[in-house]
Every structure is written in C-alpha cells, then in structure tokens.
Amino acid sequence: MRIKICGITQPQQGKAIADLGATALGFICVTTSPRYVTIKQIQAVVEKLPSKVDSIGVFANTRPEKIKQAVVDGGLTGVQLHGDESPEFCQQLRDLLPGVEIIKALRIRTATDFDKTAIYNLFVDTLLLDAYHPQQLGGTGKTLDWQLLQNFQPSRPWFLAGGLTPYNILEALSQVKPTGIDLSSGVERAPGDKDLQKVAQLFEKLGNR
C-alpha cells in the first residue's frame, strides 16, 4: 500500500518521514494554503529523498504550463489536482507531462459524487478521495463517511484521504480497501510542521496490521 504524507515544508522532516517508510511526499503549490511551499523549498526536500520515494506537487486551478514548469524545476514525479479541473484538463496535462503521475482529488459529500470517479478514470493515473469542505480544498482534518466507500472499486488505483490519523487508520482500513492512504493534518503539530512521533506511530500501527 502506498503511504503519502502531504504538506511537507521542511527538508529534515521530509527526509525523516521518507526514512520511516513513506512512499510519497506531497508539496502544496497553492499559494493560499498555510502549507504552501516555493519551488526552492521543494527542491531542498526532494534532493534529500531516495529515488524510490515519489514527490507529488498539489495544485488547484493552475494553468497547465505553470504546473509543467513546477514539475520540471522541482523534480516532481507526480501532480495532484485538487481544484475544479475537468477531465479534458487532465488529458491536456498528461500530454504535456508524459511519464508523470496525474492524480485527481475528488471531494466526496454524498454517494452521487462517486459518479465523477468513473469519468476521471479515463484521464488520470490515480484518484484521491477527500472529505468535502465548503471553503478548504484539503488538510481540513474532516473524515469521509467510510461506509460510503465500502464497495468502492474504481478501475484506477486510489488514495483514501480526509482526517486520517494514527489513531483511526486501522478503523478506516477495516472498512475501506484503498491502494494508498494520504495524511496531512493528522500527523502535524501545526500546518506544515509534521510531528515525527505521530508519523512513527502511524507506521507502527500499519506494521502491526
């Protein structure tokens, strides 16, 4: 199972989290986010990472050319789209960035929101399901209704996100069978400041499954 820790801002924390077992780190490229990082900050983290750890840039309603520049300059291996990007936009980005993973985040409020996943399956490599929040795009600490996801089996790999912590991760995974999990606020002291003790607890829980 892939384990992505999102909202990385500090090189030493990024390296430590990778060493603990994360398979992917996420970098917020949305300027309005409290976890926003510049390309230089991303570079400082990525250069310390082993090549097996994916580095994912998180964008929302950003022009394709700007995303491509960030991927090239930041050494990113993937792009997570967390805004209102259309399937056509995803295809355009895939054409611009061959070989780069395209992840589409969908905020789930009701069962009908799952209809969107079938549409995006054709245009992205990976899906990410997050909790709905009317103002914030992610990192809200709100959990999804896991019961809604018990029979969710898309044709693409997918991350479960939304309010996951070391304390509820086993309960979540007892109900839902994602191919990856994504945590941010659940392993933080403050936005962008990861709590390495909580990250270690997460991997300890997962190791004892």
Per-residue model confidence (pLDDT) at position 134: 45
List b or e across 29-53, with b for residues whose CB sees 16 or more CB atoms inside 10 angstroms.
Answer: bbeebebbbebebbbbbbeebeeeb
pLDDT tens for 153-173 read: 888 999 999 999 999 999 999
Lookup: tokens for 22: 């994360």
Per-residue model confidence (pLDDT) at position 86: 96
Higher pLDDT, 148 or 30: 30
Strand partners, 159: 128, 180
Per-residue model confidence (pLDDT) at position 140: 53
pLDDT tens for 179-205 read: 999 999 999 999 999 999 999 999 999
Rounded distance between C-alpha atoms, residue 35 and residue 209, angstroms: 31
Per-residue model confidence (pLDDT) at position 136: 47
Q: Which of 61, 6, 63 is nearest to 37 (CA)?
A: 6
From residue 176, how far is each of 65, 118, 133, 158, 180 by CA, in Å?
36, 18, 21, 11, 11
Number of structural domains, the chain?
Answer: 1
pLDDT tens for 89-134 read: 999 999 999 999 999 999 887 777 778 888 999 999 999 998 754 4
- Domain hosting residue 12, numbered range: 2-207
Q: For residues 208 and 170, is the Cβ–Cβ distance under 8 A?
A: no
Q: What is the pTM of this model?
A: 0.93
Residues with catalytic function:
6, 130
Higher pLDDT, 49 or 148: 49
Q: What letter does residue 113 receive in the DSSP assignment? A: G
In this structure, what CATH number is given to the domain that contains residue 144?
3.20.20.70
